[in-house]
């Protein structure tokens, strides 16, 4: 399903329609300070016309930080 991003256009082709996707498994993001924590799915906004990834993000960036007072 394509969706418009308000006032955004693809910087490569000028299109206004994008699709959302995400990476799983080996494509997850793990924080450097919290390498033993759970990884986060990497989400992408992709131009529907040219296929360029115009934005990548994680939904919960706090999960990438080191936990304080963590006992092993």
Q: Using one digit for the tens of pLDDT, what is the confidence trace for 4-61?
A: 566 689 999 999 999 999 887 677 777 766 666 667 888 999 999 999 999 999 888 8
Q: Whole-model pTM above 0.75?
A: no
The tally of domains found in the chain comes to 1
Contacts of 31 (CB under 8 A, 6+ apart): 37, 63, 64, 65, 66
CB 37 within 8 A of CB 67: yes
In a domain, 17, yes or no: yes
| Residue whose tokens read 């989400």 | 43
Q: Which domain holds residue 48?
A: 3-64
In a domain, 69, yes or no: no
In a domain, 72, yes or no: no
In a domain, 18, yes or no: yes
CB 29 within 8 A of CB 42: yes
């Amino acid at each position: 399903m394509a969706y418009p991003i308000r006032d955004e256009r693809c910087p490569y082709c000028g299109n206004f329609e994008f699709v959302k996707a995400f990476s799983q498994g080996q494509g997850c993001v793990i924080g450097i300070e919290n390498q033993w924590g759970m990884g986060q799915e990497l989400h992408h906004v992709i131009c529907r016309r040219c296929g360029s990834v115009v934005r990548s993000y994680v939904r919960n960036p706090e999960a990438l930080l080191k936990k304080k007072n963590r006992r092993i």
